[in-house]
Chains A and B, each alone.
Chain A
Amino acid sequence: GENVEQHPSTLSVQEGDSAVIKCTYSDSASNYFPWYKQELGKGPQLIIDIRSNVGEKKDQRIAVTLNKTAKHFSLHITETQPEDSAVYFCAADTGRRALTFGSGTRLQVQP
């Protein structure tokens, strides 16, 4: 089955800096790659996703890149703000079953 690895496990940045979280996946059949943000006491919230037919997608300060050949995808957050502090999860999906999640990255943005 699919295996998703996520790095780093923790990330601390200064407000205004950029943050990058990286994931790799094993199943070449995976074609959908969402990213979730989970704040304390809440369920995961979908923040951005990318499908295998595109290499990059942006939504304001958030972008995701995908390299299908290398089987890795990354989340980029620019101009970080304290409210970006949360745990971020990447995931992979073939579209026919449940998501396989990475281990999570705890992002802390220092004001």
Chain B
Amino acid sequence: SAVISQKPSRDICQRGTSLTIQCQVDSQVTMMFWYRQQPGQSLTLIATANQGSEATYESGFVIDKFPISRPNLTFSTLTVSNMSPEDSSIYLCSPKKGNTEAFFGQGTRLTVV
């Protein structure tokens, strides 16, 4: 398994501001994914964080709204920009080592007021 540290664990933010979420893994992983989980819903993939290159975004998610960095194989950040109440969700990073299990941290519970 992998130990995942995601920060912050929760935050309450004003609309129009931005929040950067950090994800640190205790070992190198080939793939890192960011998911959003809206209240009472399943997990929706936002993007794949690629080390050394631009992230790959899923339909409905754009780089200007959710910029992602992945400077090395153990760390990634997701920024939620220009937040609105609709962005209130749990955001989860998920490292994956090739064709093996995907793990999740505790997530970041974001409330936008």
Binding between chains A and B: yes
Contact with B along A89-111 (1 / 0, CB 8 A): 10001011111111110000000
Q: How large is the interface on A (under 10, 10 to 19, 20 to 34, 35 or more residues)?
A: 20 to 34
A43, B106: Cβ atoms closer than 8 Å: yes
- Nearest CB in chain A: distance from B21 CB, A: 13
- What chain A residues lie within 8 Å of B1 (beta carbons)? 46
- What chain A residues lie within 8 Å of B106 (beta carbons)? 42-43
B33, A98: Cβ atoms closer than 8 Å: yes
A43, B104: Cβ atoms closer than 8 Å: yes
A97, B43: Cβ atoms closer than 8 Å: no
Which of B98, B99, B102, B105 has a CB less than 8 Å from the CB of A99? B102
Contact with B along A25-68 (1 / 0, CB 8 A): 00000001010100001111110010000000000000000000
- What chain A residues lie within 8 Å of B94 (beta carbons)? 98-99
B101, A98: Cβ atoms closer than 8 Å: no
